[in-house]
């Protein structure tokens, strides 16, 4: 999963860098940050299928995903806000409070990791549903804790490097993380028996040929 992400990112380095720079510019408006991020998930989902997305297609996805992206962003603001308040509230010396706080910290981790897989799940569905994708992403995190910790560790490492170097933020970070999310979901779909096993890790056509119907809605 990680190796496929790195390989795909390297093979499409120029294309991903261009899309990431557009994402960075759009994110500065704040209003376009959620739809630009969801459009990046859509573009990298296509890349995980073996197809690179042009800038004009990416911008079309930004427009198309505007409302759904903001619904997702507002939901995250509410959930993360409640989790953070709970963690702070139970920051007490009593043993029972420490145990409850630990549960909320784990819940926060699970929710954040799940968000990396929500939109990839949407784009893998025959009938896209954000609610169903959120449920599937959470079930994936809960059902595969070791896998989820690995995803979290990769994300943390990428964010630390990006924070230190800064340049990747504009040219690769978001695109790489979104691509990681798509490969994580496709990996789990194989593990859960929902997709056939790839013929070999190095096979350029490792995933069955698929129409891009979800991406063109």
Average pLDDT over residues 99-120: 96
Q: Which tens digit of pLDDT belongs to each residue from 163-209? A: 888 777 778 999 999 999 999 999 999 888 776 665 444 443 343 33
pLDDT cut 70: percent of the chain above it: 88
Domain boundaries of the chain, sorted by first residue: 2-191
| CA proximity to 50, closest of 82, 11, 20 | 11
Residue pair 137/121 in contact by the 8 Å Cβ criterion: yes
Q: Which tens digit of pLDDT belongs to each residue from 114-137? A: 999 999 999 999 899 999 999 999
pTM (2 decimals)?
0.85
């Amino acid at each position: 999963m990680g190796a496929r992400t790195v390989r795909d990112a390297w093979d499409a380095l120029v294309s991903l860098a261009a899309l990431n720079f557009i994402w960075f510019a759009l994110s500065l408006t704040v209003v376009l940050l959620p739809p630009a991020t969801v459009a990046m998930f859509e573009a990298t989902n296509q890349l995980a299928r073996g197809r690179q997305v042009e800038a004009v297609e990416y911008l079309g996805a930004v427009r198309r995903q505007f409302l759904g992206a903001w619904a997702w962003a507002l939901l995250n603001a509410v959930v993360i806000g409640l989790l953070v308040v709970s963690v702070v509230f139970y920051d007490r010396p009593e043993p029972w409070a420490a145990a409850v706080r630990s549960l909320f910290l784990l819940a926060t981790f699970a929710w954040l990791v799940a968000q990396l897989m929500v939109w990839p799940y949407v784009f893998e569905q025959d009938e896209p549903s954000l609610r169903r994708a959120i449920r599937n992403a959470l079930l994936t995190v809960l059902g595969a804790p070791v896998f989820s910790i690995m995803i979290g560790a990769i994300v943390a490492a990428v964010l630390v490097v990006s924070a230190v170097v800064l340049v990747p933020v504009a040219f690769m970070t978001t695109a790489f993380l979104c691509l990681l999310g798509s490969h994580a979901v496709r990996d789990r779909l194989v593990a859960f028996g929902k997709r056939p096993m790839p013929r070999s890790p190095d096979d350029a056509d490792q995933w069955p040929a698929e129409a891009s119907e979800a991406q063109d809605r």
